[in-house]
Amino acid sequence: MFLFIFHPLRKDIKVLLAAYPSMNLRSVLEPGTTLWAIQRMQWKAIGIKDEDFNKPKIAVVNSSSNLSVCYIHLDEVSKKVQEAIRSAGGLPFEIRTTAPSDAITSVGKNARYILPSRDLIVNDIEVMVEGALLDGMVCLSSCDKTTPAHLMAAARLNIPTIIVPCGYQLGGYLDGESVDWQDVYEGVGAYKKNLMSLAHLQRMADVAVCGPGVCPGLGTANTMHMVSEALGMSLPGSSPVRAGGEKLFQMASRSGEQIVSLVERNILPRDIITERSIENSVRLVQAIGGSVNVVRHLAAIATEAELDFDVVACFEKCADGASQLTSIRPNGKYRIEDLERAGGVLGVMKQLSPQLHLDAMTVAGISIGEVLSKVGGVDEEIIRPLHNPFKKEAGLTIVRGNLAPDGAIVKNAGIPSHMKFLKGPARVFESEEDAFNHINDFKPGDVAVLRGLGPKGGPGTVFAASFVASLNGAGLAEKVAVITDGELSGELRGLTIGQVMPEAAEGGPLAVVADGDMVSVDLEKKRVDILISDEELKTRMAAWRPKRQKMKRSWLSIYSEVVQPISKGAVLGSISD
């Protein structure tokens, strides 16, 4: 039995608020000033009472949207959080942000809006919360980009914040067989190879999602939900959790109560997001075989927290001696709901505890060590102990070489053993669509290179994930390797090397690979190389020139001017950075 552990709202907080109304709250303005007068005018007009003006004012960040199933349940979650904040002595204000969905918002511009939406959310939050000088935040996190965005905003603003992971969807059944997001995603490749009819693919899509929430499995959304808890920024026991279930609403209420306590105690995100807590979350990701996209998101969170910390190097360090303690789809046969029942993040971290920094603080108001000391038994069929892992290797590996001097990421969890070493000819593509059009031309041993799809090259990271999923559906995932600076999904399987750094648009070596060049991948040595001489590589690099992009005025044109290197998380900066 797992306990929901949080710092309870002390009975004297309401007394404290009454005795010391302002609590040094930045939202309480000096009476008689212009800002005080116009704030009072606005807030009285919407029904705020005199006694509410001195309460902690909490932003409830809600990205509710009926464009995507990921977000359709968030209004009900928001209501629970707001009710709990009021009961605890605070004053909630719901604010809305962009609500990107990797399934829906990816339709336009070849998914170029997806990664830039993360940073747009961060700035949405800054404008609303800093503009009003609110005292704390509860962020309702759902699809892939909202959780990292909320953590980045918390790190940037550094006001008391709790992240509420808002849960996964359930898959459905077709002809007595289970079917979910991953099956549909890979089904496109089967259709392209004439292994599946369009009618059957449509039937799969029609039943693959049963209820609200993010796609099941260890994709980016569920992985980032779990990372938030491992960082200490979500209440213990928060993830994974089924969207729309009673447990989610319980966690929402507890988060609403706890945020008032965090404001009263002045526990800030930068007290929690530290090098030690980031390393804890890296160890969790290695143990579960989480999404490759976590590396860039953790780097972005560290950057926003102004930590001089190399997240890529941390993944490299933690890979030594790491093991995979779970085998959750797409890595194995178990489902995300099995992981929840077995103990979730608390269960994995309990097994990992000898490797963790147990003094790291959490939003529960106690250390992760204190949290784990109260955790009961773990289902070791689903969450193995360190001495008996599913695989004796890290879930993610950083590889380097002359194709990726600053590193690239491989998800070991989904790679068959015979593909740990591969040497083959490069097939170079400048777009996912072009690669799709040639899927029937690939031969075993080919290396598909999809480039110019990174944050700057897109601009906004362009999908390569659909192509990789189609390789799976076409039966080629165990025969063809993929190397890309484009956007991948945590749901993928096969030998895929992603987040190649530097990206091609920054003049990385990926930019000069030619069709037919032999490429070597050696995962034992953690290397990815183009098999040409150093002199030839230098000659090509010297001759390379960036492509000039003619772009209309848009969010993407602004993003392309200010996005920083992906090794720093592809956060936004000034042109001079």
pLDDT digits (tens, 9 = 90+) for 301-333: 999 999 999 999 999 999 998 999 999 988 889
Measured from the Cβ of residue 177, the count of other Cβ atoms closer than 10 Å reads 9
pLDDT of residue 24: 86
pLDDT of residue 210: 92
**Residue 110 is assigned to a structural domain of this protein:** yes
> Residue 19: pLDDT above 60?
no
Portion of the chain with pLDDT greater than 90, in percent: 72
pLDDT digits (tens, 9 = 90+) for 338-391: 999 999 999 999 999 999 999 999 999 999 999 999 998 899 999 999 999 999
Domain shared by 217 and 93, yes or no: yes
Domain shared by 291 and 223, yes or no: yes
421 bridge partner residues: 522
Measured from the Cβ of residue 66, the count of other Cβ atoms closer than 10 Å reads 9
Distance CA 577, CA 569 (A): 14
pLDDT of residue 386: 97
Measured from the Cβ of residue 550, the count of other Cβ atoms closer than 10 Å reads 5
> Residue 16: pLDDT above 90?
no
**Residue 246 is assigned to a structural domain of this protein:** yes
Q: What is the mean pLDDT of the chain?
A: 91
Domain shared by 226 and 368, yes or no: yes
pLDDT of residue 11: 45
> Residue 433: pLDDT above 80?
yes
Residue 439's CATH number: 3.50.30.80
Residue 153's CATH number: 3.40.50.2300
The separation between CA 90 and the C-alpha centre of its own chain, rounded to angstroms, equals 29
CA distances from 218 to 15, 205, 326, 339 (A): 44, 20, 11, 10
Q: Using an 8 Å Cβ cutoff, are 282 and 315 in contact?
A: yes
Distance CA 140, CA 125 (A): 12
**520 part of the active site:** no
Domain shared by 404 and 542, yes or no: yes
**pLDDT classification of 51: cutoffs 50, 70, 90:** very high
3-class DSSP state for residue 484? strand
**Residue 570 is assigned to a structural domain of this protein:** no
Question: What average pLDDT does range 140-160 have in this prediction?
Answer: 97
Q: Using an 8 Å Cβ cutoff, are 345 and 226 in contact?
A: yes
pLDDT of residue 15: 45
User: Which of 179, 210, 241 is a domain's end point?
Assistant: 210
Which has more confidence, 275 or 9? 275
**pLDDT classification of 577: cutoffs 50, 70, 90:** low
Q: Which two tokens stand for residue 328?
A: 């959750």
Question: What average pLDDT does range 393-398 have in this prediction?
Answer: 92
Distance CA 147, CA 102 (A): 13
Q: Using an 8 Å Cβ cutoff, are 463 and 484 in contact?
A: no
pLDDT of residue 87: 98
pLDDT of residue 105: 87
pLDDT digits (tens, 9 = 90+) for 170-223: 999 999 999 998 889 888 888 888 899 999 999 999 999 999 999 988 989 999
Dihedral (C-alpha) 438, 440, 444, 448: value to the nearest 10 degrees?
Answer: 20
> Residue 468: pLDDT above 90?
no
**Helix ranges, 60-144 (H):** 74-87, 114-125, 131-132
pTM above 0.85, yes or no: yes
**Residue 557 is assigned to a structural domain of this protein:** no
**Residue 384 is assigned to a structural domain of this protein:** no
Question: What average pLDDT does range 382-410 have in this prediction?
Answer: 95
Domain shared by 268 and 191, yes or no: no
Domain shared by 138 and 282, yes or no: yes
Work out whether the CA dihedral 140, 144, 146, 148 comes out positive or negative: positive
> Residue 10: pLDDT above 80?
no
Which has more confidence, 128 or 573? 128
pLDDT of residue 4: 43
Distance CA 262, CA 12 (A): 14
pLDDT digits (tens, 9 = 90+) for 501-549: 999 999 999 999 999 999 999 998 999 999 999 999 999 999 999 887 7
Domain shared by 326 and 421, yes or no: no
- Overall number of domains in the chain: 3
DSSP string, 231-258: HT-S-TT-SS-BTTSHHHHHHHHHHHHH
CA distances from 520 to 254, 422, 540 (A): 51, 6, 19
**Residue 312 is assigned to a structural domain of this protein:** yes
**Residue 577 is assigned to a structural domain of this protein:** no
Helix (H) or strand (E) holding 501: strand 496-501
Domain shared by 160 and 197, yes or no: no
Helix (H) or strand (E) holding 138: strand 136-141
Q: Which two tokens stand for residue 379?
A: 């289902």
DSSP string, 427-439: EEESSHHHHHHTG
The separation between CA 81 and the C-alpha centre of its own chain, rounded to angstroms, equals 22
Domain shared by 217 and 328, yes or no: yes
**pLDDT classification of 21: cutoffs 50, 70, 90:** very low
> Residue 412: pLDDT above 90?
no
pLDDT of residue 271: 98
**Residue 378 is assigned to a structural domain of this protein:** no
Q: Which residues span the domain enclosing 162?
A: 13-166+212-373
Domain shared by 50 and 133, yes or no: yes
Domain shared by 178 and 228, yes or no: no
* 8-state DSSP, 546: P
Q: Name the active-site residue from 78, 117, 489, 567.
A: 489
Question: What average pLDDT does range 485-490 have in this prediction?
Answer: 79
Q: Which two tokens stand for residue 540?
A: 């090509």
Tokens 């496109």 belong to: 188
Q: Which of 7-11, 63-67, 139-143, 159-163 has the lowest mean pLDDT?
A: 7-11
CA distances from 308 to 227, 418, 503 (A): 20, 38, 22
Domain shared by 321 and 184, yes or no: no
pLDDT of residue 6: 43
